[in-house]
Amino acid sequence: MSIPLTIRLAWKNILANRLRSGLTILGLVIGIASVIILVGIGNGAASSVKSQVASLGTDIITVSITDSDNALSYDEVQEMKNLSSVSEVSPYIMISSSLSKDGDVSQQASIVGTSETYRSMMGYDLASGRDISKIDVDNSTKVTIIGSDVAEEFWGSGDPVGDTIKISGDNYTVIGVLKSTGSSMGNNVDETILIPVSTARYLGEDTSITSLYVRAVDEDKADSAANALEQYLSVNCGIGEDAFSVSTQEMMLEAMEDINNTLSLLLGGIAAISLLVGGIGVMNVMLVSVTERTREIGIRKSLGAKKKDILYQFLIEALVLSMTGGVIGIIAGFVGGQIAVAVGASFAPGIGMIILSFAVSVAVGLIFGIFPSYRAASLRPVEALRYE
């Protein structure tokens, strides 16, 4: 029997039991779609974070003091600039506080106490006004740069530069407004408030520093700058190696890649369980089909059909079921991914995942269709004809 004729017979038998076949295909659709959606969302989230990390530039180094008892003073941070491989240093302190103007109160801003180099190092652009200056830091001036959302909330379409805003009840002069950027590194830049790091003491904050960004003199010298910083912290500042971390952007990207691979395997494994269930469904349907068509198998064998003809017939029928489920599952996966994007998630399935998903659906048909097909092909004609 030719393969086209066998495929037509397979479709005829599948359509003869639409509900049963549909439920079997549904199990495969759910499995394939789950793999594409979960892995796609995982890859999308990882790609988004990696692009934000990479946007800072590979010459940026992150320094974190994990033990607050070893926090650095502002002067100790500034001395890092004397290292030959270091170009700029920008400490920062995250502060939780309230904003108000003319009686309106907002709790939505993230206040960052930092230096004159922070904004440029983070890649934030000014829409208007000026940057925080070294003089502002040295004199603990009560000035601030605000995000675009904060400016719109309190000033609408007006220009806030030169006006004042209250932070924890104290007046701060607005010297600049950041361009609308959205989220970066987990922070909403449009709701950010920047103030001089030394001014943070007016907000009841400890101005000792546990977090800072460092720019190497050149991207090729990021690793040597990181080594110099580690030596400075351990030798000059007397901080134990287990009390601080120094990470280049390359190191962070490599770590994120490892996390992404692990996450993808985990999500893929979870979704693969659905495929296993779908495969069992295929085998169950094919076993039922063999039982229902025992007399048909006996008649075909008595008329000269060979064992391999019966084997191919049922195996191709299993493949048609699984491949149909695979195609619909891929479509459903993309639809689900677009729904995820519409609600704010990132989705990046990749062509490799699509090919793998379809290959898995074919493999499911082969693996779970072999036993029922072999069972059908092994029936003896006499016994098959006598089956009621």
- Nearest residue to 364 (alpha-carbon basis) of 273, 256, 239: 273
Q: Are 93 and 205 in contact (CB under 8 A)?
A: yes
CA dist 150 and 158 (Å) reads: 12
CA distance 314 to 322: 12
What does the pLDDT read at residue 164?
Answer: 92
In this prediction, residue 271 has a pLDDT band, given cuts at 50, 70 and 90, of: low
| Average pLDDT rounded to a whole number, residues 82-96 | 88
Confidence of residue 243 (pLDDT cuts 50, 70, 90): confident
* Residue 252, amino acid: M
pLDDT band, residue 195 (cuts 50/70/90): very high
Which alpha helices (DSSP H) does 65-203 contain, by range?
A: 74-78, 118-122, 134-138, 148-155
Tell whether the model's pLDDT for residue 388 goes beyond 60: no
CA distances to 95, 97, 207, 332 from 108, rounded to whole Å, are 12, 9, 22, 38
- Residue that wins the pLDDT comparison between 383 and 78: 78
59 versus 174: which is more confidently predicted? 174
Give the contacts of 91 (CB within 8 A, at least 6 positions apart).
Answer: 72, 74, 77, 114, 115, 197, 209, 211, 212
What pLDDT does 132 receive?
93
Average of per-residue pLDDT values in the chain: 80
Confidence of residue 128 (pLDDT cuts 50, 70, 90): very high
Q: What is the pLDDT of residues 278-292, one digit of tens each?
A: 777 777 777 777 776
Contact 314, 11 (CB under 8 A): no
pLDDT tens-digit map of 35-61:
888 778 877 877 776 666 666 667 888
Question: Is 230:246 a contact under the CB 8 Å cutoff?
Answer: yes
Give the span between the Cα atoms of 201 and 74, in whole angstroms: 13
**Average pLDDT for residues 100-105, to the nearest whole number?**
76
Long-range CB contacts (within 8 A, 24+) of 254-262: 256/46, 256/49, 256/50, 256/53, 257/46, 257/50, 259/46, 260/42, 260/43, 260/46, 260/50
Average pLDDT for 172-194 = 81
Half-sphere exposure of 297 toward its Cβ, with a 13 Å CA cutoff? 30
pLDDT for the residue numbered 52: 65
